């Protein structure tokens, strides 16, 4: 199991409407893709769209390497697999609607 740190790069991107967390987080995952998926799932929030809008629905900012970074921290071992935590040690539960 590995620990990844994901950091916002571009908070001006419209995709941040889809995230309840807009700060750096740790994610316990096997791969960078799994880490991004995990953070996207645990921070997902609903967004309103206007009827008839033809604008594409944005993807989670945590999936976009232009909007967030995802760096392996091999020396960090204290985040269990499947867990997302803020840098202040706040664990993120699975988001519910």
Residue 21 has pLDDT above 90, yes or no: yes
Please report whether residue 17 resides in a domain.
yes
Residue 57 has pLDDT above 90, yes or no: no
Nearest to 81 by CA among 30, 39, 36: 30
Please report whether residue 52 resides in a domain.
no
Please report whether residue 94 resides in a domain.
no
Give the C-alpha separation, 17 to 78, whole Å: 30
Please report whether residue 38 resides in a domain.
yes
Please report whether residue 68 resides in a domain.
yes
Q: How many domains does the chain have?
A: 1
- The stretch 73-94 carries a mean pLDDT of 90
Q: What is the pTM of this model?
A: 0.85
Domain extent, residue 18, equals 2-47+57-86
Please report whether residue 93 resides in a domain.
no
């Amino acid at each position: 199991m590995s620990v990844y740190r994901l950091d916002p790069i571009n908070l001006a991107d419209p995709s941040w409407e889809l995230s309840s967390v807009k700060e750096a987080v740790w994610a316990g995952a096997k791969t960078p893709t799994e880490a991004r998926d995990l953070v996207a799932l645990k921070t997902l929030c609903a967004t309103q769209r206007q009827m008839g809008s033809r604008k594409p629905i944005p993807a989670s900012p945590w999936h976009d390497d232009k909007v967030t970074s995802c760096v392996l921290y091999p020396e960090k071992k204290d985040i269990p697999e499947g867990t997302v935590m803020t840098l202040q040690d706040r664990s993120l539960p699975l988001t519910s609607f």
